[in-house]
Structure 1
């Protein structure tokens, strides 16, 4: 039950944004075996003045940088997370063609009881 927030520079066409969502969903299915149609994502676009990055950690990032923040159950292992990082980078490289240097991913673990996915019910508590 991941929830993903994707941030990127403004100006990309709808097909590019859709490819990011499709590739991210595919990576989540590949690495974490998320259920079919478990696609809870939001994309925010930012003008250049509101979207900053640097070359920290020896990585030469560019204007196609995409930040992906994934909140998911705190039951995932470090091995699963590493596999997810790899699959996201591979899939985004294929479509829409984002360089590995421009894929920045963070995971926020959350206890299952912290989720309500509708009807005001804590479905996983």
Structure 2
């Protein structure tokens, strides 16, 4: 945990998708200080007409490279969040040449009671996970 959900436009290669996931995981591990094996990621690919992501008046030019990342996580500090945003775009630009203006992130916080990792238990509440 956190859970990272990527929405992208269909057309990237398997290798590009793997690099995207790896770059995001590295940024998350560093910024949120979670274990390296704490990896939960999904990718949903859309036809271009199914994903409308405009610039909110910032003057960004979006292309078929645009990435919408929803991060669902326990509460994080403002410092951790801004560090994650920065590391994410740096790593994506380096690994797969994604422009920083193509990366949109929404971080949604929840609590320990909102997670079950199996066996019908809330492992953060039972103490199985910290």
Query: 2:91 maps to what in 1?
Result: 91
Superposition TM-score, scaled by structure 2 size: 0.91
Aligned counterparts, 1:3-82, within 5 A: 3-56=3-56, 57-74=58-75, 76-82=76-82
For 1:34 and 1:91, the matched residues in 2 are separated by 18
Q: Spell out, residue by residue over 1:18-49, the C-alpha distance to the aligned partner (whole angstroms, 9 max, x if none).
A: 00000000001111111121110000000011
User: How far off is 1:58 after superposition?
Assistant: 2.2
For 2:68 and 2:55, the matched residues in 1 are separated by 14
Superposition TM-score, scaled by structure 1 size: 0.95
Query: 2:115 maps to what in 1?
Result: 115
Unaligned residue ranges in structure 2 (runs of 5+): 126-130
For 2:73 and 2:53, the matched residues in 1 are separated by 25
Task: Say whether 1:102 aligns with 2:95.
Answer: no
Unaligned residue ranges in structure 1 (runs of 5+): none
How many residues align? The count is 124
User: How far off is 1:102 after superposition?
Assistant: 0.3
For 1:35 and 1:99, the matched residues in 2 are separated by 28
For 1:29 and 1:36, the matched residues in 2 are separated by 6
CA RMSD across the alignment: 0.9
Deviating beyond 6 angstroms after TM superposition, the runs of 4 or more aligned structure 1 residues are none
